[in-house]
């Protein structure tokens, strides 16, 4: 009798009945064409049901399919049929190409992400995520106020915004981005475009407005109401009253 321990450790490799891991791909283009054909067939079925109702005298009217068939049967060859024939050939070739065209890849494999049952890679990312990573790395450098990145077929383009007072080091930004995406896009080149904003010159502030001066006091003579004491000489001394506003 043998035990699992006596049988030894099984060799690493793909598990049985496990499909090989393939990169994620976009939806086939034929899906959209077949969807349009399905809608057209549903519409044609609705027309057929209507013609059946007309034939059974359930509704009034004339059959559309029968009238279209008679119109096509009565047609004779015309010169403009050549253009229609060529157009139909082009459309048919387009349908064939759409059906056999390989689906575009939507994700990028990450190197060194490990294996799953002997298959590698097992982790994928999108181009938009790589662009976000490049922008985040660029914004970490001094002098970079804004960064936007785009991943193209052969290169990664990053646009950074800086100021003329504290400009960013473009070479350092490019090297940092290249290092951050080396494991994902090792063959892509990195291009950094710089937009420099001019800092407005400082202006001397206008002098502070002084406190408004108070109006001059109004002096009124009040000889009629108030009369001072009479001196010995008999003359009267008038008093004054100040009114401040």
- The token pair that represents 199 in the structure block: 């800092």
H-assigned helices in 56-80: 64-73
Kindly tell me if the per-residue pLDDT of 81 is higher than 80.
Answer: yes
* pTM over the 0.85 mark: no
- 3-state SS record for 107-149: EEECCCCCCECCECCCCEEEHHHHHHHHHHHHHCCCCCCEEEE
What per-residue confidence (pLDDT) applies to 166?
86
Q: How far from 126 is each of 24, 94, 109, CA to CA, in Å?
A: 10, 29, 9
Kindly tell me if the per-residue pLDDT of 203 is higher than 80.
Answer: no
**pLDDT tens by residue, 51-64:** 999 999 899 988 99
Query: Residue 107 — pLDDT band, cuts 50, 70, 90?
Result: confident
What per-residue confidence (pLDDT) applies to 1?
47
Kindly tell me if the per-residue pLDDT of 112 is higher than 80.
Answer: no
Percent of the chain with pLDDT over 90: 44
What per-residue confidence (pLDDT) applies to 238?
47
Higher pLDDT, 11 or 142: 142
Q: Which residues contact 14 (CB under 8 A, 6 or more apart)?
A: 20, 117, 118, 119
**pLDDT tens by residue, 128-171:** 999 999 999 999 999 999 999 999 989 999 999 999 888 999 99
Higher pLDDT, 241 or 144: 144
Kindly tell me if the per-residue pLDDT of 222 is higher than 60.
Answer: no
Lowest mean pLDDT across 89-98, 134-143, 182-191, 219-228: 219-228
Query: Residue 106 — pLDDT band, cuts 50, 70, 90?
Result: confident
Q: In terms of C-beta distances under 8 Å and separation of at least 24 residues, what long-range contacts does 70-76 make, across chains too?
A: none
Kindly tell me if the per-residue pLDDT of 236 is higher than 50.
Answer: no
Distance CA 243, CA 219 (A): 7
| Average pLDDT for 222-234 | 48
**pLDDT tens by residue, 31-42:** 989 999 999 999
**pLDDT tens by residue, 183-200:** 888 889 999 999 999 877
What per-residue confidence (pLDDT) applies to 93?
96
């Amino acid at each position: 009798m043998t035990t699992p321990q006596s049988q030894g450790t099984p060799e690493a490799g793909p598990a049985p009945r496990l499909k090989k891991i393939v990169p994620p791909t976009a939806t086939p283009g034929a899906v959209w064409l077949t969807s349009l054909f399905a809608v057209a067939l549903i519409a044609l079925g609705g027309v057929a049901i209507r013609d059946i109702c007309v034939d059974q005298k359930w509704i009034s009217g004339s059959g559309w399919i029968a009238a279209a068939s008679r119109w096509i049967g009565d047609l004779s060859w015309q010169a403009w049929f050549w253009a229609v024939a060529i157009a139909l050939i082009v459309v048919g070739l387009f349908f064939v190409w759409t059906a056999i065209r390989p689906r575009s890849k939507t994700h990028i494999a990450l190197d060194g992400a490990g294996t799953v049952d002997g298959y590698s890679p097992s982790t994928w990312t999108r181009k938009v995520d790589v662009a976000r990573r490049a922008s985040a790395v660029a914004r970490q450098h001094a002098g970079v106020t804004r960064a936007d990145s785009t991943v193209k077929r052969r290169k990664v383009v990053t646009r950074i915004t800086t100021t003329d007072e504290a400009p960013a080091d473009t070479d350092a930004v490019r090297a940092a981005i290249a290092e951050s995406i080396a494991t994902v896009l090792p063959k892509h080149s990195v291009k950094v475009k710089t937009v420099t904003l001019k800092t407005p010159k400082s202006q001397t502030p206008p002098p502070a407005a002084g406190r408004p001066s108070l109006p001059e006091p109004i002096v009124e003579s009040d000889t009629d109401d108030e009369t001072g004491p009479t001196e010995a000489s008999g003359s009267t001394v008038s008093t004054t009253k100040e009114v401040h506003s």
